[in-house]
Amino acid sequence: MANVSIAQPPERLRATIDTLTGWATREEVLADAPEVDAATAALAEVQQMRRRVKAFFSDLRRPINEARAVNLRNEKDWLGKLAPIEDRLTRLIVAYQEQAATRQAAAAAQLLATATTTGTLPETPLEIAVPVTPSQTRTTYAATVATPEDFQVLVAAVAAGRVPLMALKPDETWLSSRAREQRERLAIPGVTLVVKKTVVT
């Protein structure tokens, strides 16, 4: 693995976090308005720091992501140049091997016919084709639900108990969008509305 320097947020952020960690372990409720004000100020500082930390690492990731995109494009370009060469070479080798095997079979048949007719073997040796192993192939399998009708059939099979429930995976992105839209009116069978409140400073 290449030597990579791991950047850390400025030390002042770490020091500020250390001063705020007490809030994470506090168990007693806020007793009065001054404590609420202190908690609100601490929350505002935490949220501001969260944004700064995300921005800090986002700036670090940007050149890495850009370099990764360039590398992926270059890799695709080079592999695209090699693919037709590899394919053509494989076809040429396989074609030669098939033709050599055909010639060898014909020569063996001729040898057998001559030996049967004359009772002697020819002095010219039989040409033996040099075996060439073509590129190996690998077969993979995957499953997909191609149409809405197919999905309905799958759902019916799951409902009937013929297919395990794990074959159906809820689309939580879609469900959450419905929850944000309908809120307390959300009424989808089997779906529980999760409500989480945050304080915005």
Q: Which single residue is written with the structure tokens 């039989």?
A: 126
pTM over 0.85: no
Q: How far is 190 from 10, CA to CA, in rounded Å?
A: 47
Length of the chain counted residue by residue? 201
Domain chopping of the chain, boundaries: 11-118
What are the pLDDT tens digits along the chain (201 aa)?
A: 455 556 677 777 778 888 888 888 888 888 899 989 988 998 898 888 888 888 888 988 899 999 999 999 999 999 999 999 988 987 888 788 788 878 888 878 887 787 777 776 666 555 555 555 555 555 668 888 888 899 999 999 999 999 998 898 888 999 999 999 999 999 988 889 999 877 777
Contact between residue 170 and residue 177 where contact means Cβ atoms under 8 Å apart: no
